[in-house]
Amino acid sequence: MTRTRVRCGWLVSMDDAIGDQQNIDLVIADDRIEAIGRDLTMAVDEEIDASSMIVMPGLINMHLHTFQAGFRGVGSEWLSADYFRILYGDIATRFTPEDNYLGTLFGALGQLDAGVTTLLDYSHNLRSLEQAERSVDALVDAGLRAMYIHGDGLREPAKPGALPARRLHPADRVKALQASRFAHAGRVTLGLGIAGPHWADWEASLHNVRLARDLGLLASSHVTKSRANAIVPDGYDRLLAMGLLGPDHNLVHCHHLSADEIGRLLDAGCSITCTNMNELHDYPNMTAMLRVIAHGATPSIGVDVEAMVTGSLWREMQMALLFARNGGLLQKSATPMIRSREALRWATTAGAKALMMERDIGALRPGMKADLIMLDAGELNLFPVHDPVFAAVEQSHPGNVDTVIVDGIVRKRHGRLLFDAGKRKALGEKLIDSVTRLSAESGYALPGV
């Protein structure tokens, strides 16, 4: 057994019993937290001086199309129709397995560098087993914890506004992936990104949900249309009536759903993930945050599409909090002030619950996985720290992340990722080549001088 003592300046545990504490020690034994307290006497192999840092759970990004990382920022002035026409409907259909590997690796490294220790990677451009396997390889090589969401991709570029409605998830490919990359337990686990009633006909929607249930996998589906525009308008109600939706189903966006529709899904145990930056960028209506909160539930949050918005979950958390506070005022809501700690729950414990991993991640207490980050409280944008939660939620950015530990393994220290610099440089050159080729094949001219 290897033990590491972390001498914390501030500890934000996100555990109600432990709370926030100052000048306290946290001891890691192998991959789990062994103890939190003062005057701990156990012998340790290593000590980390975090006496000038805020120690907190690693962030959980609940929705990212990670393979798209090479196209960061190119769609900053796109709208939703542009994304579907240029990236998802065309460029994404041209990715090779190695293109997926490169995009996913750099996307995952970017998340890790910014303090995300767990990522839900919604990989929805897949056309082959090898493409899925190489995406998983990238997550493993990056070193973070992840749920790899297998999504079936378009087979060829789609005509604008003509995405297929018959989208049966390929059971054979998923089972082959289980037998190859997921034959043994690891930090990367498997889920399904399925076409649900908003995007698939009833037969496909039913097949896809049942497939996830039969395989014992969490399913995640995009919920991005109004009831009137959904392919199966009452599809989610029908699935609820059949008992096919519950805690093993994650619904993303839901910005068009009414409070009643959201309530029925939440009452069944489903989780809802909001991607506020992307939704406010793309769509003319309010995100689902306030409707989820008003129902007494806690939403999780994610980034979605780095081609259009920043990949920083810190910015997403801050945007979500400001939106929720301001939205309540605009709607003259009776909702009381939404506290900063609640926003931190969206990025930690809510994500853990949505992944059905709340016994292992999302908070810091003895027995849980050692997934934690340390913010340098001496940085000028944070100093002096009066309340560590206010500092973390309202003031922090990725540059404040000094140290990242995943599963007890230090992945970032003194502000630098511990990923081989030479390998990163060589792979970065390949990523540029990949993006250049994919853009040329699709006929899309990358922005630039």
Does residue 433 belong to any structural domain of this protein?
no
- Enclosing domain of residue 72: 59-354
User: What is the identity of the amino acid at 33?
Assistant: I
Tens of pLDDT along 152-187? 999 888 776 677 778 899 999 999 999 999 999 999
**Could you say which of 354, 387, 407 is where a domain stops?**
354
Distances (CA, A) of 40 to 24, 117, 373: 10, 26, 21
- For residues 279 and 149, membership in a common domain is answered with yes
Q: Where are the alpha helices (DSSP H) in 65-170?
A: 80-82, 97-113, 129-142
Cβ burial, residue 428 (10 Å; 0-12/13-18/19+): middle
Which neighbouring-strand residues pair with 412?
Answer: 404, 417
Rounded Cα gap, residues 52 and 376, in angstroms: 7
Does residue 18 belong to any structural domain of this protein?
yes
Tens of pLDDT along 287-319? 999 999 999 999 999 999 999 999 999 999 999
CB 285 within 8 A of CB 257: no
- 408 Cβ contact list (under 8 Å, min separation 6): 2, 4, 28, 29, 30, 31, 32, 369, 370
Other C-beta atoms lying within 10 Å of the C-beta of residue 391? 23
Tokens of 4: 């590491």
Does residue 204 belong to any structural domain of this protein?
yes
- For residues 10 and 107, membership in a common domain is answered with no
- For residues 63 and 164, membership in a common domain is answered with yes
Please give the pLDDT value at position 331: 56
- For residues 347 and 380, membership in a common domain is answered with no
Does residue 11 belong to any structural domain of this protein?
yes
- For residues 239 and 378, membership in a common domain is answered with no
Evaluate if residue 9 carries a pLDDT over 70.
yes
Does residue 440 belong to any structural domain of this protein?
no
CATH number at residue 22: 2.30.40.10
- Provide, rounded to the nearest whole percent, the portion of the chain with pLDDT above 90: 90
Average the pLDDT over 310-334 and give the result: 83
Which three-class secondary structure state does DSSP give residue 412? strand
Name the residue among 146, 187, 188, 151 with its Cα closest to residue 61: 146
- For residues 257 and 378, membership in a common domain is answered with no
- For residues 155 and 201, membership in a common domain is answered with yes
- For residues 24 and 165, membership in a common domain is answered with no
The order of strands in the sheet holding 401-406 is 32-37, 20-29, 3-12, 46-57, 372-376, 401-406, 409-413, 416-417
Which three-class secondary structure state does DSSP give residue 2? coil
User: What is the identity of the amino acid at 217?
Assistant: L
- For residues 286 and 313, membership in a common domain is answered with yes
**Could you say which of 306, 328, 354 is where a domain stops?**
354
Tokens of 421: 């610099």
- For residues 335 and 376, membership in a common domain is answered with no
Peptide bond into 97 cis (omega under 30): no
Please give the pLDDT value at position 329: 55
Tokens of 425: 């440089």
Average the pLDDT over 255-281 and give the result: 96
What is the number of domains present in the chain?
2
Please give the pLDDT value at position 332: 56
Does residue 306 belong to any structural domain of this protein?
yes
Give Cα 183 distance to the centre of its chain: 24
Rounded Cα gap, residues 151 and 194, in angstroms: 6
Does residue 437 belong to any structural domain of this protein?
no
Name the residue among 109, 186, 108, 216 with its Cα closest to residue 369: 186
- For residues 209 and 344, membership in a common domain is answered with yes
Other C-beta atoms lying within 10 Å of the C-beta of residue 169? 22
- For residues 20 and 89, membership in a common domain is answered with no
Specify the pTM: 0.97
